[in-house]
Structure 1
Amino acid sequence: MVAEGPRIARRRLLAAATIGAAGAPVLAGAARAEPGPIAPPPAGDRGRPVTPGADRAAADDWSVLSGERVGVITNPTGVLRNLRNIVDEMHESGSVSIAGVFGPEHGFRGTAQAGGSEGTFVDERTGLTVYDAYGANVAKMRELFTTAGVETVVFDIQDVGARFYTYIWTMWTAMQAAVATGTRFVVLDRPNPVGGVARGPMMTAAYTSGVGAREIVQQHGMSVGELARFFDGEFLEEHAGGRLAQLDVVEVSGWRRTTLYADTGLDFILPSPNMPTPDTALAYPGTCMFEGTNLSEGRGTTKPFELIGAPFVDHRWAAALEEAGLPGVTFREAYFNPSVNKFAGQVCGGVQVTIQDRDRFDPIRTGVEMLVTATSLYPDFAWRQDSWDTARPFWIDKLTGSTRLRTQIDAGATGDEIEAAWADELAEFDARRRPYLIYR
């Protein structure tokens, strides 16, 4: 039997990864991908195993990456089912020529806290250079790729499905740099842990930042592979002067848009220090909005983004939220003492957000109602202001995409009125993203 060359083997893996049940190709491995019809991966359902793209690539001895110098953007979530990091596995396999590793926020090995990185260093285990990519602009990312001699960029990080989680913007920056360098881009796809439903307000151009660099809604409802296709088709031409020379997505098998992370059969690896469980991820698209206030969002506790409060909050907040009757969630009166971040070392009153029905829970609608009731109950409630951005001082505006939510709440709008304000833009986004979706 004649042995396959690396490019033939790579094409076979991509074909296997991208042919739907109806036989329609979603992505092509040998040419730049064009948006195609939504096609399902191999059959899977709740409670049945889900296989990430990395495991599928590893099972084929990384043939999708053969013969090229590879730059890997990953972190501790870039693991196989055996829980070993893909860089360690690639390096030991001898099948991948790794030009360098690129660490996002929190770092490649995950040792840094929010807003931090590990810097550039030589990894002790592999001897590979790890470049600090957190906060890098396009010019810097391009310089890093050129310095390392990268021919193919691989992205493999577990996202949590919220616009303000920074890993997708590291990918966006890397994609722009890949356009500039003519570099191939490969996504080893993973499930969106909060499912495939899009929710919330749209980012506006005036409020783009590192927690929302382009115009997508607050809970985008896409895998990172789908987002890469969306970015390539919708934004790169305008912002990078062209599209990717080649975009390949090695798909997840067995994942459907209704499947939440708890039903995938996968171990949940903390994507960041304050994202310990799948329920944290479910709450995050809504309760992270409390970063934009003077209430603690639970950092420095064992329940970040599920414990919310401040020293001036009392039992009335939990009672008011329970009375609101929000679907799929209950609110327990809670007291906590954060070890770091806001109110470190002080006792805070507040609520514990407990998700009772994951299918009915709407994190953004929940977060809005929490903000509305907190502002009505507590005169000491305030929006966080940042002195470093005098033109756009309110952090909540960067998180939600505009001044609208903040000004509506200040004017006494109800949760229903606030949600109705973004209905049209959400529907438009939902329709716009459909050609780029991969999973049923």
Structure 2
Amino acid sequence: MIRPHSLRALIDTLKTNHRNVGLLCNQTAFLFEEKMYLMDWLAKEKVLKTIFVPEHGLFSELQDQEALENAEIYHFWEGVNCVSLYGHDEQSLKASPEKVEELDDILIDIQDVGCRYFTYLTTIAYLFETIARCQRPPRVWVIDHPNPAGRQVEGSPISTTYASFIGHEGLPHRHGLTLGEIAFWLKEFYGGAFDLQVLMGASPDYFMQIYPSPNFPSLQTAELYSGQCLFEATILSEGRGTTRPFEIVGAPFLRWETLHRIKHDVEHLSKEYHWFNYVLRPLQFIPTFHKYANELCGGFQIHLSTQAKNHSLLSSLLLLRTFNEHIPNLWRIGSYEKGNPRTALEILVGDELLIDFVRGKQPLLEVVSYLKGSENQWINSVGYVSKEPLFSLL
């Protein structure tokens, strides 16, 4: 088959050759130039057989960790089977080999956000794991998307010890790659011999105008997410249920005086570091759902200058450590993920040294040195897939 170099040419080729096509996507697979969803186009050309639906549902209508048991609720396309890849059990997270081998081609069109906690990457990884084991693997086409968190790298690769659906083994907290680039990395990780092709995505004119998940409303979210997502490991609200998730953090028991003490300590500890540029603005807020729904909370909104560089992971680790010094029993207890006994802190931070740091057991200078080495090691290891230079602020 001739290798197309555009999405339109690919769809023409799929139609001409009567291919059976699968599509892993959500609502970010909207083609603004065509004014339609990719699934609508493929269905119209009568090549689409299966839609694989990730966490949050096809239209990002489901909240975090909310299972989709019956993807046939998306019964909009005649003859198209919808398969949930986020049900109630671990088995539901992976497509069956039988479903995959029915297909000649699989297209992947979904917006990643540049951090390992964002589970679409793990969904793609599990799909590649299945494809790599197939006797007759389908050809894979990835529609490339820019990384809204940019080319900056943060953190350390997660080990097998802490890896999970919320953090694929080997990925740092913030990876710096586009969707197409990380697809090549995942293919190599699983030793896949299948054919993988990457096509350029849509025009940047509409970049991030469709939210990729229900609590990811903006590019500002992408700048903070590598650090602020870690607040899911605490008893504090991470801002879900507000219009500024991952920018707002707090709880009903946080008094005004406590907030100012925390603010003072964070500013004192961070004043010598160029990588810390959080501005903490004390406020009150009322989440409409999730933690502390309909309760008045005290907390902070985190602001970032559009000009300043910021290491969000380190900044949030420092913020977490300071909260831990002021709030007893800060950390969520019990398992965080289905089928996994580990706590949210272990799964999200995913590194023993960093866990010890937020608990007050490691000095900041040692953490900075450790992350500098880890980030540069990742940058060097993925140079073969990255079309543009990655960088670390450390």
Q: TM-score range by the shorter chain?
A: 0.7 to 0.9
CA distance in 1 between counterparts of 2:203 and 2:338 reads 44
Is 1:365 the counterpart of 2:314? The answer is yes
Q: Which amino acid aligns with 2:302?
A: V
CA distance in 2 between counterparts of 1:334 and 1:417 reads 33
Is 1:320 the counterpart of 2:286? The answer is no
Per the alignment, residue 100 of structure 1 pairs with 50
Q: Which amino acid aligns with 2:240?
A: R
Q: Which amino acid aligns with 2:176?
A: G
**Aligned 8 A contact 2:238 2:246 in 1:** yes
Is 1:285 the counterpart of 2:237? The answer is no
In structure 2, do the counterparts of structure 1 residues 374 and 414 end up closer, same or farther at CA, with 3 Å as the change threshold? farther
Q: How does 1:206-225 map to 2 (within 5 A)?
A: 206-225=161-180
What is the alpha-carbon root mean square deviation over aligned residues? 2.5
Per the alignment, residue 108 of structure 2 pairs with 155
Q: Secondary structure at the match of 2:161?
A: helix
In structure 2, do the counterparts of structure 1 residues 372 and 343 end up closer, same or farther at CA, with 3 Å as the change threshold? same
Is 1:298 the counterpart of 2:239? The answer is yes
Per the alignment, residue 30 of structure 2 pairs with 79
In structure 1, which of residues 268, 272, 278 is the aligned counterpart of residue 209 of structure 2? 268
Per the alignment, residue 392 of structure 2 pairs with none
Is 1:57 the counterpart of 2:10? The answer is no
How many pairs were matched up? 371
- Segments of structure 1 that go 5 or more residues without pairing to the other structure are 1-6, 15-55, 238-242, 256-263
CA distance in 2 between counterparts of 1:438 and 1:105 reads 29
Is 1:236 the counterpart of 2:186? The answer is no
**Aligned 8 A contact 1:203 1:216 in 2:** yes
Shift of 1:64: 5.7
Identity, % of aligned positions: 25
In structure 2, which of residues 346, 365, 383 is the aligned counterpart of residue 397 of structure 1? 346
CA distance in 2 between counterparts of 1:306 and 1:368 reads 15
TM-score (norm 1): 0.77
In structure 2, do the counterparts of structure 1 residues 389 and 277 end up closer, same or farther at CA, with 3 Å as the change threshold? closer
Deviations 1:389-429 (A, max 9, x none): 89853211111223322222323434443232233232222
Shift of 1:432: 0.8
Is 1:111 the counterpart of 2:66? The answer is no
Deviations 1:55-94 (A, max 9, x none): x413x362464422110000011111245321112223x2
* RCO higher in structure (CA 8 A, sep ≥6): 1
Shift of 1:138: 7.8
Q: Secondary structure at the match of 2:173?
A: strand
**Aligned 8 A contact 2:215 2:240 in 1:** yes
In structure 2, do the counterparts of structure 1 residues 409 and 164 end up closer, same or farther at CA, with 3 Å as the change threshold? same
Which moves more between the two structures, 246-255 or 161-170? 246-255
TM-score (norm 2): 0.86
CA distance in 2 between counterparts of 1:225 and 1:438 reads 10
Q: Which amino acid aligns with 1:133?
A: L
**Aligned 8 A contact 2:353 2:362 in 1:** no
Q: Secondary structure at the match of 2:239?
A: coil
Per the alignment, residue 347 of structure 1 pairs with 296
CA distance in 2 between counterparts of 1:145 and 1:390 reads 24
**Aligned 8 A contact 1:122 1:129 in 2:** no
Deviations 1:191-249 (A, max 9, x none): 0001112211220111111111221111011111111111122x112xxxxx1320101
Q: How does 1:10-159 map to 2 (within 5 A)?
A: 11=3, 13-14=4-5, 56-58=6-8, 60=9, 62-63=11-12, 65-66=14-15, 67=17, 68-82=19-33, 84-92=36-44, 94=45, 97-118=47-68, 119-121=70-72, 123-127=74-78, 128-134=80-86, 136=91, 140-146=95-101, 149-159=102-112
In structure 2, do the counterparts of structure 1 residues 267 and 209 end up closer, same or farther at CA, with 3 Å as the change threshold? closer
Shift of 1:379: 2.9
Q: Which amino acid aligns with 2:233?
A: G
CA distance in 1 between counterparts of 2:91 and 2:47 reads 24
**Aligned 8 A contact 1:151 1:184 in 2:** yes
In structure 2, do the counterparts of structure 1 residues 359 and 75 end up closer, same or farther at CA, with 3 Å as the change threshold? farther
Deviations 1:79-111 (A, max 9, x none): 11245321112223x2x6111111000112332
Q: Secondary structure at the match of 1:99?
A: strand
Deviations 1:370-398 (A, max 9, x none): 11211122234234432878985321111
**Aligned 8 A contact 1:73 1:157 in 2:** yes
**Aligned 8 A contact 1:328 1:357 in 2:** no
Q: Which amino acid aligns with 1:202?
A: P
CA distance in 2 between counterparts of 1:397 and 1:380 reads 16
CA distance in 2 between counterparts of 1:154 and 1:85 reads 13
Q: Which amino acid aligns with 1:151?
A: D
Per the alignment, residue 376 of structure 1 pairs with 325
In structure 2, do the counterparts of structure 1 residues 236 and 137 end up closer, same or farther at CA, with 3 Å as the change threshold? farther
Which moves more between the two structures, 305-314 or 354-363? 354-363
Q: Which amino acid aligns with 1:71?
A: G
CA distance in 1 between counterparts of 2:145 and 2:41 reads 18
CA distance in 2 between counterparts of 1:358 and 1:211 reads 31
Per the alignment, residue 386 of structure 2 pairs with 437
**Aligned 8 A contact 1:189 1:224 in 2:** yes
Deviations 1:151-199 (A, max 9, x none): 1111111001110100001101111111222121110110000111221
Which moves more between the two structures, 131-140 or 243-252? 131-140
CA distance in 2 between counterparts of 1:87 and 1:388 reads 31
Is 1:168 the counterpart of 2:112? The answer is no
Q: Which amino acid aligns with 2:121?
A: I
In structure 1, which of residues 175, 184, 197 is the aligned counterpart of residue 139 of structure 2? 184
